[in-house]
Homo-oligomer: A and B are copies of this chain.
Amino acid sequence: MNDEQQVLEESRERFIAQWGALGTQWGINRTMAQIHALLMTAVDPLSTDEVMEALQISRGNAHTNLKELVAWGLLRIVVRKGERREYFEAEKDVWKIFRIVARERKRREIEPALDVLHQCAAESEGMKSAPGREYHRQIRELEEFVHFASQVADKIGLLQHGTAVKLAAKLVG
């Protein structure tokens, strides 16, 4: 049993380390991903100091990333009665996590792209020259597609877990 605890600790540490490394690929920083991994697999909420201790990072780093995760909605702040300091607890429901990440990605990746495309489409509207018309056509196609993708993302974000699973199951066959 003591042995099991040992294996668990090691597995969890590897999970945190690797999830952190993955974070880099997803465009979020390593520490943020590590904190998320730490708290998703934590039994109880942790304080800033406990996070600092567990990941061996500075206060400023821990603080900034904890607050960023709270801003995303991936962590909640918990206050224990009679205690002054804040504790942090992770959202553990995978469908909720997915929706949050999807929403954030849409905001950071899709919406700014739409703005650019929209502006360029407007600027080249009604051009007469062949290169001008070709440019406008290409931008418009991109714009339409991204706009459409954006709407799809919105709708998926509104679905209940069950509904989404059924829909996806039909697709996967």
Chain A residues in the interface with B (C-beta under 8 A): 1, 4-5, 7-8, 11-12, 14-15, 18-19, 22, 25-27, 40-41, 43, 92, 94-95, 98, 108-109, 112-113, 116, 119-120, 123-124, 127-129, 131-132, 134-135, 138-139, 141-142, 144-145, 148-149, 151-152, 155-156, 165, 167-168, 171-173
Contact = CB atoms under 8 A, between A and B. Distances in A.
A173 to B, nearest CB: 7
Contacts of A123: 7, 11
A138 B41 contact: yes
Contact of A129 (B1, B116, B139): B1
Decide if the interface of chain A is mainly helix, strand, loop or mixed.
helix
25 contacts: A1-B128, A5-B129, A5-B131, A7-B123, A8-B124, A11-B123, A14-B119, A15-B116, A18-B116, A19-B116, A22-B113, A25-B109, A25-B112, A26-B109, A41-B135, A41-B139, A43-B131, A92-B141, A98-B149, A148-B165, A148-B168, A152-B168, A155-B172, A156-B171, A167-B171
Contacts of A134: 43
B22 A109 contact: yes
A89 to B, nearest CB: 13
Given A7-B124, A11-B123, 9 more contacts: A1-B128, A1-B129, A5-B129, A11-B120, A12-B120, A22-B116, A40-B142, A152-B168, A155-B171
